[in-house]
Amino acid sequence: MDERTRTTDHELAPQLRRTSPKPDVEGRRFSTKRIGIGLVVAVALALGIYQITRAVQTPQAPGGRSPQGLVQSVGASTVSLFNVPVVVDALGTVTPLATVTVQTQISGYLTQVAFTEGQLVKKGDFLAQIDQRPYEILKNQYEGQLAHDQGLLAQAQADLVRYEALAKQNSIALQQTEDQKFLVQQYEGTVKQDQALVAAQALNITYCHIASPVAGRVGLRLVDPGNYVTPTSTTTGIAVVTQLQPITVIFSIPEDDLPDVMPQLNAGGTLQVTAFDRANQKQLAVGKVIAVDNQIDTTTGTVKVRAQFDNSDNALFPNQFVNARLLVKTLQNAVTVPTAAIQRGAPGAVGTAPGSYVYVVNADSTVSVRQITTGPTTMTPDNVSLTAVASGLKAGERVVTDGSDRLREGLRVNVTTIDGKQVAPAATAAAAAGGGQGRNGGQRGPHRGGGAGQ
Protein backbone atom coordinates (compact mmCIF):
# COMPACT_ATOMS: atom_id res chain seq x y z
CA MET A 1 0.00 0.00 0.00
CA ASP A 2 1.41 3.41 -0.99
CA GLU A 3 1.58 6.54 1.13
CA ARG A 4 -1.44 8.17 -0.54
CA THR A 5 -3.71 5.33 0.39
CA ARG A 6 -2.62 5.41 4.04
CA THR A 7 -3.27 9.14 4.13
CA THR A 8 -6.79 8.71 2.88
CA ASP A 9 -7.59 6.10 5.51
CA HIS A 10 -6.19 8.31 8.22
CA GLU A 11 -8.31 11.19 7.08
CA LEU A 12 -11.51 9.08 6.99
CA ALA A 13 -11.05 7.63 10.52
CA PRO A 14 -12.39 10.72 12.42
CA GLN A 15 -15.39 10.79 10.17
CA LEU A 16 -16.12 7.13 10.79
CA ARG A 17 -15.86 7.70 14.55
CA ARG A 18 -18.25 10.63 14.35
CA THR A 19 -20.85 8.65 12.34
CA SER A 20 -20.76 5.43 14.45
CA PRO A 21 -23.87 4.82 16.79
CA LYS A 22 -23.62 6.19 20.34
CA PRO A 23 -24.95 4.44 23.46
CA ASP A 24 -28.67 5.38 24.37
CA VAL A 25 -27.87 7.05 27.67
CA GLU A 26 -31.05 9.11 27.79
CA GLY A 27 -33.27 6.02 27.23
CA ARG A 28 -31.58 4.21 30.08
CA ARG A 29 -32.08 7.20 32.34
CA PHE A 30 -35.85 7.36 31.48
CA SER A 31 -36.35 3.62 32.09
CA THR A 32 -34.59 3.89 35.43
CA LYS A 33 -36.87 6.76 36.42
CA ARG A 34 -40.01 4.74 35.57
CA ILE A 35 -38.81 1.79 37.60
CA GLY A 36 -38.14 4.07 40.52
CA ILE A 37 -41.59 5.65 40.35
CA GLY A 38 -43.21 2.18 40.15
CA LEU A 39 -41.30 1.02 43.21
CA VAL A 40 -42.36 4.11 45.14
CA VAL A 41 -46.04 3.57 44.19
CA ALA A 42 -45.87 -0.13 45.10
CA VAL A 43 -44.32 0.63 48.46
CA ALA A 44 -46.97 3.30 49.14
CA LEU A 45 -49.77 0.89 48.25
CA ALA A 46 -48.29 -1.82 50.44
CA LEU A 47 -48.00 0.58 53.37
CA GLY A 48 -51.57 1.77 52.81
CA ILE A 49 -52.96 -1.76 52.71
CA TYR A 50 -50.97 -2.63 55.83
CA GLN A 51 -52.28 0.40 57.68
CA ILE A 52 -55.89 -0.33 56.62
CA THR A 53 -55.59 -4.00 57.62
CA ARG A 54 -54.08 -3.06 60.95
CA ALA A 55 -56.79 -0.46 61.54
CA VAL A 56 -59.49 -3.02 60.82
CA GLN A 57 -57.95 -5.69 63.00
CA THR A 58 -57.07 -3.41 65.91
CA PRO A 59 -59.18 -0.26 65.68
CA GLN A 60 -57.95 2.69 67.64
CA ALA A 61 -60.19 5.07 69.48
CA PRO A 62 -60.02 8.84 68.93
CA GLY A 63 -56.96 10.47 70.49
CA GLY A 64 -54.89 7.29 70.21
CA ARG A 65 -56.72 5.45 73.01
CA SER A 66 -56.72 1.69 73.25
CA PRO A 67 -59.51 -0.39 71.60
CA GLN A 68 -61.09 -0.79 75.01
CA GLY A 69 -62.04 2.87 74.89
CA LEU A 70 -64.09 2.43 71.65
CA VAL A 71 -67.87 2.71 72.15
CA GLN A 72 -70.27 0.93 69.80
CA SER A 73 -73.95 1.88 69.56
CA VAL A 74 -76.20 -1.19 69.81
CA GLY A 75 -79.79 -2.16 70.39
CA ALA A 76 -80.63 -4.44 73.30
CA SER A 77 -83.51 -6.45 74.66
CA THR A 78 -84.35 -7.77 78.11
CA VAL A 79 -84.41 -11.50 78.76
CA SER A 80 -87.98 -12.32 79.81
CA LEU A 81 -90.22 -15.22 80.81
CA PHE A 82 -92.74 -16.39 78.24
CA ASN A 83 -95.00 -19.40 77.65
CA VAL A 84 -93.45 -21.11 74.64
CA PRO A 85 -95.57 -23.66 72.77
CA VAL A 86 -93.73 -26.69 71.40
CA VAL A 87 -95.23 -27.31 67.97
CA VAL A 88 -94.62 -29.66 65.06
CA ASP A 89 -95.18 -28.14 61.62
CA ALA A 90 -96.24 -30.43 58.79
CA LEU A 91 -97.93 -30.42 55.40
CA GLY A 92 -101.38 -31.98 55.37
CA THR A 93 -104.29 -32.79 53.09
CA VAL A 94 -107.94 -32.22 53.94
CA THR A 95 -109.59 -35.63 53.85
CA PRO A 96 -113.38 -36.16 54.30
CA LEU A 97 -114.60 -38.81 56.70
CA ALA A 98 -116.95 -40.09 53.98
CA THR A 99 -116.91 -39.73 50.21
CA VAL A 100 -119.71 -41.74 48.59
CA THR A 101 -120.25 -42.35 44.89
CA VAL A 102 -124.03 -42.64 44.42
CA GLN A 103 -124.71 -45.57 42.09
CA THR A 104 -127.85 -47.40 41.07
CA GLN A 105 -128.40 -50.92 42.41
CA ILE A 106 -130.92 -51.86 39.71
CA SER A 107 -131.34 -51.37 35.98
CA GLY A 108 -133.75 -48.90 34.48
CA TYR A 109 -134.27 -45.49 32.95
CA LEU A 110 -133.24 -42.48 35.00
CA THR A 111 -136.45 -40.45 35.03
CA GLN A 112 -135.59 -37.67 37.49
CA VAL A 113 -132.61 -35.94 39.10
CA ALA A 114 -133.77 -34.09 42.20
CA PHE A 115 -130.54 -32.42 43.34
CA THR A 116 -128.72 -29.27 42.28
CA GLU A 117 -125.00 -29.46 41.66
CA GLY A 118 -123.12 -28.29 44.74
CA GLN A 119 -126.18 -28.63 46.97
CA LEU A 120 -125.81 -29.40 50.66
CA VAL A 121 -127.94 -32.43 51.50
CA LYS A 122 -128.79 -34.38 54.60
CA LYS A 123 -128.72 -38.12 55.04
CA GLY A 124 -131.84 -39.61 53.38
CA ASP A 125 -132.58 -36.65 51.09
CA PHE A 126 -134.05 -37.58 47.68
CA LEU A 127 -131.48 -37.45 44.84
CA ALA A 128 -132.75 -39.38 41.78
CA GLN A 129 -135.59 -41.58 40.53
CA ILE A 130 -135.47 -44.65 38.28
CA ASP A 131 -138.53 -45.94 36.45
CA GLN A 132 -140.14 -48.39 38.88
CA ARG A 133 -143.09 -49.63 36.78
CA PRO A 134 -141.42 -52.87 35.60
CA TYR A 135 -140.73 -53.85 39.19
CA GLU A 136 -144.26 -53.01 40.30
CA ILE A 137 -145.60 -55.36 37.60
CA LEU A 138 -143.33 -58.16 38.72
CA LYS A 139 -144.39 -57.59 42.29
CA ASN A 140 -148.04 -57.95 41.35
CA GLN A 141 -147.25 -61.15 39.49
CA TYR A 142 -145.45 -62.66 42.45
CA GLU A 143 -148.21 -61.59 44.78
CA GLY A 144 -150.72 -63.51 42.60
CA GLN A 145 -148.55 -66.57 42.65
CA LEU A 146 -148.25 -66.22 46.42
CA ALA A 147 -152.04 -66.12 46.82
CA HIS A 148 -152.41 -69.23 44.67
CA ASP A 149 -149.86 -71.19 46.65
CA GLN A 150 -151.31 -70.02 49.95
CA GLY A 151 -154.69 -71.45 48.85
CA LEU A 152 -153.11 -74.80 48.05
CA LEU A 153 -151.39 -74.78 51.41
CA ALA A 154 -154.64 -74.07 53.25
CA GLN A 155 -156.41 -76.90 51.40
CA ALA A 156 -153.61 -79.33 52.17
CA GLN A 157 -153.63 -78.34 55.85
CA ALA A 158 -157.42 -78.92 56.06
CA ASP A 159 -157.09 -82.35 54.43
CA LEU A 160 -154.35 -83.22 56.89
CA VAL A 161 -156.64 -82.47 59.82
CA ARG A 162 -159.37 -84.77 58.40
CA TYR A 163 -156.88 -87.53 57.63
CA GLU A 164 -155.50 -87.45 61.13
CA ALA A 165 -159.01 -87.77 62.57
CA LEU A 166 -159.82 -90.70 60.31
CA ALA A 167 -156.48 -92.33 61.09
CA LYS A 168 -157.38 -92.35 64.78
CA GLN A 169 -160.56 -94.27 63.89
CA ASN A 170 -158.55 -96.65 61.64
CA SER A 171 -160.79 -95.53 58.76
CA ILE A 172 -157.90 -94.79 56.36
CA ALA A 173 -154.45 -96.10 55.85
CA LEU A 174 -151.68 -94.55 57.93
CA GLN A 175 -149.58 -93.99 54.79
CA GLN A 176 -152.17 -91.61 53.35
CA THR A 177 -151.93 -89.43 56.45
CA GLU A 178 -148.14 -89.35 56.25
CA ASP A 179 -148.22 -88.35 52.56
CA GLN A 180 -150.55 -85.47 53.37
CA LYS A 181 -148.08 -84.14 55.96
CA PHE A 182 -145.33 -84.04 53.34
CA LEU A 183 -147.64 -82.28 50.90
CA VAL A 184 -148.34 -79.56 53.48
CA GLN A 185 -144.58 -79.02 53.96
CA GLN A 186 -144.10 -78.64 50.19
CA TYR A 187 -146.80 -75.98 49.99
CA GLU A 188 -145.28 -74.15 52.96
CA GLY A 189 -141.95 -74.00 51.11
CA THR A 190 -143.61 -72.72 47.97
CA VAL A 191 -145.39 -69.97 49.92
CA LYS A 192 -142.13 -68.84 51.50
CA GLN A 193 -140.49 -68.70 48.09
CA ASP A 194 -143.35 -66.58 46.74
CA GLN A 195 -143.09 -64.27 49.71
CA ALA A 196 -139.36 -63.78 49.03
CA LEU A 197 -140.05 -62.88 45.40
CA VAL A 198 -142.62 -60.30 46.46
CA ALA A 199 -140.19 -58.83 49.01
CA ALA A 200 -137.42 -58.66 46.40
CA GLN A 201 -139.58 -56.63 44.04
CA ALA A 202 -140.60 -54.35 46.88
CA LEU A 203 -136.90 -53.77 47.59
CA ASN A 204 -136.24 -53.01 43.92
CA ILE A 205 -139.00 -50.43 43.99
CA THR A 206 -137.28 -48.89 47.00
CA TYR A 207 -133.98 -48.82 45.10
CA CYS A 208 -135.67 -46.86 42.33
CA HIS A 209 -135.90 -43.99 44.81
CA ILE A 210 -132.23 -43.01 45.35
CA ALA A 211 -131.48 -41.09 48.56
CA SER A 212 -128.27 -39.57 49.94
CA PRO A 213 -126.38 -42.08 52.11
CA VAL A 214 -124.54 -39.35 54.08
CA ALA A 215 -124.86 -35.67 54.85
CA GLY A 216 -122.62 -33.49 52.77
CA ARG A 217 -122.21 -31.64 49.50
CA VAL A 218 -123.29 -33.10 46.16
CA GLY A 219 -120.80 -32.74 43.34
CA LEU A 220 -121.42 -32.31 39.63
CA ARG A 221 -124.09 -34.46 37.95
CA LEU A 222 -122.47 -37.38 36.16
CA VAL A 223 -125.57 -38.89 34.43
CA ASP A 224 -128.42 -36.97 32.82
CA PRO A 225 -132.10 -37.97 33.04
CA GLY A 226 -133.27 -40.28 30.23
CA ASN A 227 -130.23 -42.56 30.30
CA TYR A 228 -130.60 -46.27 30.93
CA VAL A 229 -128.46 -47.08 33.95
CA THR A 230 -127.32 -50.41 35.32
CA PRO A 231 -125.19 -51.36 38.35
CA THR A 232 -122.27 -52.31 36.09
CA SER A 233 -122.47 -49.65 33.38
CA THR A 234 -122.36 -46.55 35.61
CA THR A 235 -118.86 -46.98 37.02
CA THR A 236 -118.65 -43.24 37.71
CA GLY A 237 -122.02 -43.20 39.45
CA ILE A 238 -124.78 -40.62 39.25
CA ALA A 239 -123.11 -38.15 41.62
CA VAL A 240 -120.57 -37.97 44.45
CA VAL A 241 -121.56 -36.86 47.96
CA THR A 242 -118.75 -35.68 50.23
CA GLN A 243 -119.14 -35.19 53.96
CA LEU A 244 -117.89 -31.78 55.07
CA GLN A 245 -118.87 -31.58 58.75
CA PRO A 246 -116.88 -32.83 60.49
CA ILE A 247 -113.82 -33.14 58.28
CA THR A 248 -110.27 -34.32 58.89
CA VAL A 249 -106.71 -33.42 57.92
CA ILE A 250 -104.08 -36.11 57.45
CA PHE A 251 -100.45 -35.06 57.92
CA SER A 252 -97.13 -36.72 58.75
CA ILE A 253 -94.84 -36.05 61.71
CA PRO A 254 -91.27 -37.29 62.30
CA GLU A 255 -90.90 -40.48 64.26
CA ASP A 256 -88.70 -38.61 66.76
CA ASP A 257 -91.80 -36.74 67.96
CA LEU A 258 -93.75 -39.90 68.83
CA PRO A 259 -92.35 -40.14 72.41
CA ASP A 260 -93.96 -36.76 73.14
CA VAL A 261 -97.23 -37.48 71.32
CA MET A 262 -98.18 -41.07 72.11
CA PRO A 263 -98.11 -40.89 75.95
CA GLN A 264 -100.60 -38.04 75.88
CA LEU A 265 -102.92 -39.83 73.46
CA ASN A 266 -102.71 -43.09 75.41
CA ALA A 267 -103.64 -41.20 78.58
CA GLY A 268 -106.73 -39.77 76.89
CA GLY A 269 -105.29 -36.29 76.42
CA THR A 270 -106.27 -33.88 73.66
CA LEU A 271 -103.64 -32.62 71.24
CA GLN A 272 -104.60 -29.43 69.44
CA VAL A 273 -103.99 -29.02 65.72
CA THR A 274 -104.29 -25.71 63.88
CA ALA A 275 -104.74 -25.65 60.11
CA PHE A 276 -103.29 -22.77 58.07
CA ASP A 277 -103.60 -22.03 54.37
CA ARG A 278 -101.03 -22.98 51.75
CA ALA A 279 -99.06 -19.76 52.36
CA ASN A 280 -99.01 -20.54 56.10
CA GLN A 281 -100.41 -17.09 56.85
CA LYS A 282 -104.17 -17.38 57.45
CA GLN A 283 -105.57 -19.63 60.18
CA LEU A 284 -108.40 -21.77 58.81
CA ALA A 285 -109.58 -23.99 61.66
CA VAL A 286 -108.64 -25.53 65.01
CA GLY A 287 -109.18 -29.23 65.72
CA LYS A 288 -107.77 -32.18 67.62
CA VAL A 289 -105.90 -35.40 66.94
CA ILE A 290 -108.22 -38.44 66.74
CA ALA A 291 -105.90 -41.14 65.40
CA VAL A 292 -102.27 -42.06 64.68
CA ASP A 293 -101.32 -44.61 62.05
CA ASN A 294 -100.14 -48.03 63.20
CA GLN A 295 -96.77 -48.03 61.45
CA ILE A 296 -93.92 -45.73 60.44
CA ASP A 297 -93.10 -45.12 56.80
CA THR A 298 -89.56 -46.48 56.50
CA THR A 299 -88.79 -44.43 53.38
CA THR A 300 -89.44 -41.08 55.07
CA GLY A 301 -89.21 -41.86 58.79
CA THR A 302 -92.62 -40.31 59.43
CA VAL A 303 -96.00 -41.48 60.70
CA LYS A 304 -99.43 -40.30 59.57
CA VAL A 305 -101.74 -38.47 61.96
CA ARG A 306 -105.45 -37.70 61.48
CA ALA A 307 -106.92 -34.56 63.06
CA GLN A 308 -110.64 -33.78 63.08
CA PHE A 309 -112.22 -30.33 62.64
CA ASP A 310 -115.84 -29.25 63.09
CA ASN A 311 -115.62 -27.14 59.90
CA SER A 312 -118.88 -25.37 60.73
CA ASP A 313 -117.91 -22.49 58.41
CA ASN A 314 -116.73 -24.80 55.60
CA ALA A 315 -113.26 -23.21 55.70
CA LEU A 316 -111.66 -26.57 54.90
CA PHE A 317 -112.32 -28.07 51.47
CA PRO A 318 -111.75 -31.72 50.51
CA ASN A 319 -108.28 -32.46 49.07
CA GLN A 320 -107.06 -29.00 50.04
CA PHE A 321 -103.37 -28.66 50.94
CA VAL A 322 -102.88 -27.02 54.34
CA ASN A 323 -100.12 -26.39 56.86
CA ALA A 324 -100.86 -28.33 60.04
CA ARG A 325 -99.40 -27.14 63.33
CA LEU A 326 -99.52 -29.77 66.09
CA LEU A 327 -99.23 -28.40 69.63
CA VAL A 328 -97.26 -31.03 71.57
CA LYS A 329 -96.86 -29.14 74.84
CA THR A 330 -96.28 -25.67 76.30
CA LEU A 331 -93.18 -24.60 78.22
CA GLN A 332 -94.49 -22.47 81.08
CA ASN A 333 -92.46 -19.37 82.05
CA ALA A 334 -89.53 -20.28 79.83
CA VAL A 335 -86.52 -17.96 79.57
CA THR A 336 -86.74 -16.35 76.13
CA VAL A 337 -84.73 -13.93 74.03
CA PRO A 338 -85.44 -12.38 70.63
CA THR A 339 -84.25 -14.69 67.91
CA ALA A 340 -82.31 -11.78 66.37
CA ALA A 341 -80.00 -11.76 69.42
CA ILE A 342 -78.78 -15.32 68.88
CA GLN A 343 -75.51 -15.74 66.99
CA ARG A 344 -74.23 -19.05 65.67
CA GLY A 345 -70.71 -20.20 65.02
CA ALA A 346 -67.45 -19.58 66.85
CA PRO A 347 -67.73 -16.36 68.89
CA GLY A 348 -63.98 -15.86 68.91
CA ALA A 349 -63.52 -15.78 72.67
CA VAL A 350 -60.78 -17.89 74.17
CA GLY A 351 -61.91 -21.36 75.14
CA THR A 352 -65.28 -21.21 73.32
CA ALA A 353 -66.45 -23.78 70.81
CA PRO A 354 -68.78 -23.20 67.85
CA GLY A 355 -72.44 -23.08 68.82
CA SER A 356 -75.16 -20.61 69.79
CA TYR A 357 -74.17 -17.55 71.78
CA VAL A 358 -75.33 -14.02 72.61
CA TYR A 359 -73.68 -10.78 73.67
CA VAL A 360 -74.76 -9.87 77.20
CA VAL A 361 -74.65 -6.20 78.23
CA ASN A 362 -72.89 -5.95 81.60
CA ALA A 363 -73.48 -3.36 84.32
CA ASP A 364 -70.33 -1.45 83.27
CA SER A 365 -71.66 -1.03 79.69
CA THR A 366 -69.36 -3.70 78.31
CA VAL A 367 -70.42 -6.87 76.52
CA SER A 368 -69.42 -10.44 77.13
CA VAL A 369 -69.92 -13.57 75.09
CA ARG A 370 -72.36 -16.03 76.64
CA GLN A 371 -72.87 -19.46 75.13
CA ILE A 372 -76.46 -20.74 75.38
CA THR A 373 -78.56 -23.80 74.67
CA THR A 374 -81.59 -22.94 72.57
CA GLY A 375 -85.05 -24.49 72.51
CA PRO A 376 -88.21 -24.01 70.41
CA THR A 377 -89.16 -20.74 68.76
CA THR A 378 -92.49 -18.92 68.92
CA MET A 379 -94.10 -15.68 67.76
CA THR A 380 -95.53 -13.01 70.07
CA PRO A 381 -98.81 -11.20 69.34
CA ASP A 382 -96.62 -8.35 68.03
CA ASN A 383 -95.00 -10.71 65.49
CA VAL A 384 -91.67 -10.79 67.34
CA SER A 385 -89.79 -14.07 67.08
CA LEU A 386 -88.72 -15.41 70.49
CA THR A 387 -86.49 -18.40 71.18
CA ALA A 388 -86.51 -20.35 74.42
CA VAL A 389 -83.14 -20.67 76.17
CA ALA A 390 -82.61 -23.86 78.15
CA SER A 391 -79.35 -22.73 79.76
CA GLY A 392 -76.93 -19.80 79.77
CA LEU A 393 -79.24 -16.88 80.58
CA LYS A 394 -81.63 -15.74 83.26
CA ALA A 395 -84.54 -13.35 83.28
CA GLY A 396 -83.69 -9.66 83.61
CA GLU A 397 -80.38 -9.74 81.74
CA ARG A 398 -79.97 -7.71 78.59
CA VAL A 399 -78.69 -9.07 75.31
CA VAL A 400 -77.64 -7.27 72.14
CA THR A 401 -80.15 -7.56 69.30
CA ASP A 402 -78.78 -4.99 66.84
CA GLY A 403 -75.11 -4.40 66.01
CA SER A 404 -73.74 -7.77 67.12
CA ASP A 405 -71.57 -8.06 64.03
CA ARG A 406 -69.31 -5.26 65.31
CA LEU A 407 -68.80 -6.59 68.83
CA ARG A 408 -66.20 -8.64 70.62
CA GLU A 409 -65.52 -9.69 74.19
CA GLY A 410 -65.09 -6.76 76.58
CA LEU A 411 -65.99 -4.01 74.11
CA ARG A 412 -67.80 -1.01 75.60
CA VAL A 413 -71.23 -0.29 74.09
CA ASN A 414 -73.80 2.47 74.08
CA VAL A 415 -77.35 1.07 74.21
CA THR A 416 -79.60 3.26 72.05
CA THR A 417 -82.74 1.08 72.05
CA ILE A 418 -84.12 -1.34 74.61
CA ASP A 419 -86.91 -3.74 73.61
CA GLY A 420 -87.47 -1.69 70.47
CA LYS A 421 -87.94 1.61 72.35
CA GLN A 422 -85.57 4.54 72.00
CA VAL A 423 -83.45 5.30 75.07
CA ALA A 424 -83.68 8.84 76.47
CA PRO A 425 -80.85 11.12 75.19
CA ALA A 426 -79.68 11.84 78.74
CA ALA A 427 -79.27 8.16 79.44
CA THR A 428 -77.51 7.69 76.13
CA ALA A 429 -75.07 10.51 76.82
CA ALA A 430 -74.35 9.23 80.31
CA ALA A 431 -73.66 5.77 78.99
CA ALA A 432 -71.35 7.18 76.32
CA ALA A 433 -69.51 9.36 78.86
CA GLY A 434 -68.84 6.35 81.00
CA GLY A 435 -67.30 4.67 77.97
CA GLY A 436 -64.53 7.21 77.31
CA GLN A 437 -65.93 10.55 76.00
CA GLY A 438 -67.76 9.15 72.98
CA ARG A 439 -66.42 9.79 69.47
CA ASN A 440 -65.09 13.37 69.38
CA GLY A 441 -63.10 14.23 66.26
CA GLY A 442 -60.63 11.48 65.31
CA GLN A 443 -61.19 8.07 63.79
CA ARG A 444 -64.76 6.81 63.47
CA GLY A 445 -65.82 3.29 64.18
CA PRO A 446 -67.33 1.00 61.55
CA HIS A 447 -70.92 1.83 62.61
CA ARG A 448 -72.57 5.25 62.81
CA GLY A 449 -74.71 4.68 65.86
CA GLY A 450 -76.39 7.07 68.28
CA GLY A 451 -73.42 7.62 70.62
CA ALA A 452 -72.51 11.04 71.97
CA GLY A 453 -70.06 13.26 70.14
CA GLN A 454 -70.91 12.14 66.63
Cα separation, 200 vs 105, whole angstroms: 13
Cα separation, 402 vs 392, whole angstroms: 20
133-168 vs 174-207: helix axis angle to the nearest 10? Answer: 160
- Selecting from 3.90.180.10, 3.50.50.60, 2.40.50.100, 3.30.60.50, what CATH number does the domain 104-241 have? 2.40.50.100
pLDDT at 347: 65
State how far Cα 453 lies from the chain centre: 50
* DSSP one-letter string for 164-187: HHHHHTT-S-HHHHHHHHHHHHHH
Topology of the domain covering 87-97+245-332: Elongation Factor Tu (Ef-tu); domain 3 (2.40.30)
pTM over 0.75: no
| Residue 93 half-sphere exposure toward CB, CA atoms < 13 A | 6
pLDDT at 429: 46
Topology match between the domains 87-97+245-332 and 104-241:
no
Q: What is the mean pLDDT of each run of 10 residues along the chain (454 residues)?
A: 48 48 52 71 73 50 46 89 91 95 93 94 95 96 96 95 91 90 95 97 96 94 92 82 96 94 91 94 95 94 96 94 94 91 73 78 90 88 87 91 86 86 59 40 36 34
Residues contacting residue 27 through CB under 8 Å, at least 6 positions apart: none
Cα separation, 252 vs 241, whole angstroms: 27
pLDDT at 66: 37
- Selecting from 2.40.420.20, 3.30.420.10, 2.60.120.380, 3.20.20.70, what CATH number does the domain 70-82+333-434 have? 2.40.420.20
Cα separation, 195 vs 190, whole angstroms: 9
pLDDT at 405: 83
Domains of the chain, by residue range, sit at 70-82+333-434, 87-97+245-332, 104-241
Residues contacting residue 274 through CB under 8 Å, at least 6 positions apart: 283, 285, 286, 287, 324, 325, 327
pLDDT at 33: 66
pLDDT at 249: 97
